[in-house]
Each structure stands twice: as C-alpha cells, then as structure tokens.
Amino acid sequence: MQKGNLVSQIPLWFERKFEFTFPVELYPNLCARLRGTPARLEETFRGRPHKILIEKPQKKWSAQEQVGHLLDLEPLWLARVEDYVAASNQLTVTDLQNRKTDEANHNARPLEEILLGFRAAREKLLKRLNELDSSLLSGAIPHPRLKTPMRLVDHLYFVAEHDDHHLARIWELVGDIEPS
C-alpha cells in the first residue's frame, strides 16, 4: 500500500474515552512509560528516509510533525503538573486546534533537533515529578475538555496514552519502510 493513500487504523484522539480507576501505586510504571518514549521515537525514526518522514498523507501531519507535536505539548504536561502543586481549580487549558504544531513547520527542522528537544523536555518533566511529594498523586483536578476529575497519576496515564497514540500513528506512516 502506498503511504500517501494510507487510511489510519488509529482511533481519533478526541474520541477516546478514559477510565481512571487504577491504583495510585501504578505511578512507577507510568513514569517508566514516559521515560521510554524518547527512546521508542528515536528507534522508530532511526535510518528512515527523510522523504518518508515528511510525507503528509491526506494533508495530515507527517511522521516528523507527529513527533514535533509531542515536543509542542511538553510544556502543557509540565504546566498541568504544576496545577497539582498549586491545587488549581482546573487543569491548564490547551489549544484544541493544535495551532502551535500546525504553524511550527516541523518538517523544515532537522529531525535530530526535534528528538533532542523532546528528550530534554521529557527529562525535565520526569525530574519535576521526582521532586514531588507522593501525596500529590491522588489529589484530583478537573480536566478542561474531558470534564472529569483527574488525579496526578491519571494525568500521567493520559500523557503516556497520548505518547502511544502518536507513536502508533508514526509507526503506521513509517513502519514498513526499510531503514536506509
């Protein structure tokens, strides 16, 4: 199948439903997932032809724009962690149109720069989490779009699921293309 005609099998992110019923004790597992995302991205992109990475099937984001989007959202994830620290009334709102990613022209940037930026931003998030008192993990704050209370541990699950959503889409775009 030609990549340009690829129809995604990945459910749309905004149609996903979440149940946050797991125990707070899964916190270390969630941190391990978050810590592993940069390596999984780097492995997925390693040796893939640049032309394939910047293709925009059906005028949707390319594989490189997908990882750029993950980088674009790291400040939001960190801001939401700070919402728990500050006991905010609601988690920080995001731009649901993703204008930052659409306007960033990630396809014109070196892939290595995006991957290094993502790794550094994710390390910053994990470092901040490591500094927190574990009592913050179970406090709940309403999510602005989902309209449901989320514990900090739920927020981390949400971030990990968002990572995996885009990793799956990247894999659809480049997975059967042989590294050069």
| Residue boundaries of the structural domains of the chain | 24-174
CA–CA distance, 20 with 27 (Å, rounded to integer): 13
- Threshold 0.95, pTM exceeds: no
Task: Work out the percent of the chain whose per-residue pLDDT is above 90.
Answer: 72
Q: Sign of dihedral through CA atoms 36, 42, 46, 50?
A: positive
What phi and psi values does residue 140 have, to the nearest 5 degrees? -110, 140
Report whether 118 contacts 38 (CB < 8 A): yes
CATH architecture of 24-174: Up-down Bundle (1.20)
Q: Which residues fall within 8 angstroms of residue 128, CB to CB, at 6 or more apart?
A: 78, 81
CA 125 to chain centre: 12
Residue range 40-69: mean pLDDT, rounded:
93
Give residue 59's pLDDT. 83
